Structure 1
Amino acid sequence: MEKRQKRISGMMLIATFLISGTIFLQMALYVIAMTTGCASLKFHNLVEVCHVTLKAIGLSSFEYLLDTLVVFTLLFALWKLGSEMVRYFTLKIKFRLYQNSALTKELNKKCGAKKESIIVISYPVPLAITMGFLSPKVIISTGLMNLLNDDELDAVIYHEMHHQKNLDPLKIFLLSFCASSFFYIPILKWFSSQYRIIQELLADNLAIEKQATPLNIGSALLKMLKVGKADATPLVYVSFADTSINYRIEYMLNPLKDFKLKIPVDIAFKSVMIFSLICIVFIYVLA
């Protein structure tokens, strides 16, 4: 089942990047062609080909709509990227200021971690996240260490180490960024949410395998839920107790139950229709 979940999550990643990458590329080429008047770019632009085709049958009245769509999408994507990067570096600076060097060294030694891959911060709120894109770090707060016993804390660290090894902060950020930028294509949001669920289940499964019991990861999750959730999770990190709680508890109670993934027909249909409509609008603008 684990291999199947990994395969499904990989397919969702590829599908998201193909859909988003294609649209971003076409929009970028369109903007360049419109601003520079470069005929070669327009000639090689797939959207331009569609536009010429529809223009030939008399559909050329929505050029302003396409301009609005392109400008809004690109500006919104830049704003989203910029705001998340600001949040990322702000959090990074705060964590560096709050870092407890003694506990960090002690915990890394205990877990056999290399190059301080686990960072302990002096913070009263229970917190366990994995943050960073190319070299992610596991962030553990003293509040969490005070809340959990040793076995529960080990389970949480195993869970976060899965995210760390799998580069989930980077992957989840890219998925969420694409879903936010193209919010009018609902299948991307669905891919993003389902990917998060699968990765949380896989991370929990690693903790269960390491300790040969689901009790510690389950009790750690319940304790953190009782304390309460923190502020809304940014896209730039993966948090232990913020995602797919119901699925995770159900899986812990019944680990033999398979995670069924069925693409909702209505969402898929809407996405195809919206994508087709966008192509038509592109055609209009390139009249």
Structure 2
Amino acid sequence: MNKCQSTKMFCLSVVISGTILIQMIAYLIALLSGTNLNFNIIEVCQNTLKMIGLTSLQYAVDILVLSTVIFAVWKIGTQLIHTIRLKTKLHQYKNEKLSEEYNNLYGVGKKDLIVISYPVPVAITIGFISPQIVLSTALIALLNEEELEAVIYHEMYHKKNHDPLKLFLLSISATILPYIPILKWFNENYRIIQEIMADENAIEKQQSAIHIGSALLKMLKVGKIDSKSFAYASFAESSVNYRIEYMLNPLENNQIKIPMVITMWSIVVFTLICIIFIYAFI
């Protein structure tokens, strides 16, 4: 596994979902404004349905486009609301003294690392534009100095890579376009690779896998925090089996293999959409 593999997954997901969603949005704007878009993929679909006598399916296309766009807007809006609520709670629980101490200790910005007074071990990275690392006092009490350092290096990777935003985009794509199943696969496996890459960052910084491994085991024994409906990168909630296996056998070939059936189905659906799109320009 490597960063190049996860980057390809993210880029392909954005290209596939972006191509489809842009067309849907363009069609919806034309539908609401009464404008005639000559080169719209959905409009070509409708004209094709009329030609072959399946005019009733035209309404199904309208419903699909409208529901997809509304669902996407709802998901994004819900995410923003939960993020705002979470930041408000974090501000209430924030331990100013420890936050300043750990920011100075690890050389990050004054607002990049937040320590909250919370009875459950927490280590997450949140935020779309300016990601922040959040640690709890329970986590600091649970781990020794080297283990805590490893966790912070792990989360620093997520912060630097803007993983909360990328995970959210992948999740949105997979949710609103289920007929392109490779998007769901990209979402699930991107998470796995990024967690392993974050572990590798900690291992590289400390020149040892012992501390990141023991920190992960300790947090697994304590248990996970409650699942939230917002995008964040968490230290001990994702890809645990893969991460442990990778730590134990780092030299093995652990490349994630793309499933052929899912890939072929996705290619067929996406290709058909692209063919209709190209035909619209001829």
Per the alignment, residue 23 of structure 1 pairs with 20
> Are positions 1:238 and 2:245 aligned together?
no
Q: Deviations over 1:90-148 (max 9, x none)?
A: 11110011000001111111112222311100001000000111211100000100110
Which residues of 2 match residues 1-287 of structure 1 at below 5 A?
5-39=2-36, 42-53=37-48, 55-275=50-270
CA distance in 2, matches of 1:281, 1:70: 16
Report the TM-score, using the length of structure 1 for normalisation: 0.90
2:229 is paired with a residue whose SS is coil
Structure 1 residue runs without a partner (length 5+):
283-287
Contact map agreement 1:62 1:281 (CA 8 A) in 2: no
CA distance in 1, matches of 2:7, 2:80: 25
Contact map agreement 2:82 2:230 (CA 8 A) in 1: no
> Across the two proteins, how many residue pairs are aligned to each other?
277
The amino acid across from 2:15 in the alignment is L
2:38 is paired with a residue whose SS is helix
Structure 2 residue runs without a partner (length 5+):
278-282
- Structure 1, 178-187 or 123-132: larger mean CA deviation: 178-187
2:254 is paired with a residue whose SS is coil
CA distance in 2, matches of 1:139, 1:64: 47
1:138 is paired with a residue whose SS is strand
The amino acid across from 2:7 in the alignment is G
CA distance in 2, matches of 1:272, 1:148: 46
**Alpha-carbon spacing, 1:75–1:25, altered in 2? closer, same or farther (3 Å):** same
The amino acid across from 2:204 in the alignment is E
The amino acid across from 2:257 in the alignment is K
CA distance in 2, matches of 1:260, 1:243: 18
CA distance in 1, matches of 2:42, 2:61: 11
- Structure 1, 168-177 or 257-266: larger mean CA deviation: 257-266
Greater relative contact order (Cα < 8 A, sep 6+): 1
1:238 is paired with a residue whose SS is strand
Contact map agreement 1:50 1:280 (CA 8 A) in 2: no
CA RMSD of aligned residues (A): 2.2
The amino acid across from 1:26 in the alignment is Q
Question: How far apart are residue 280 of structure 1 and its match?
Answer: 11
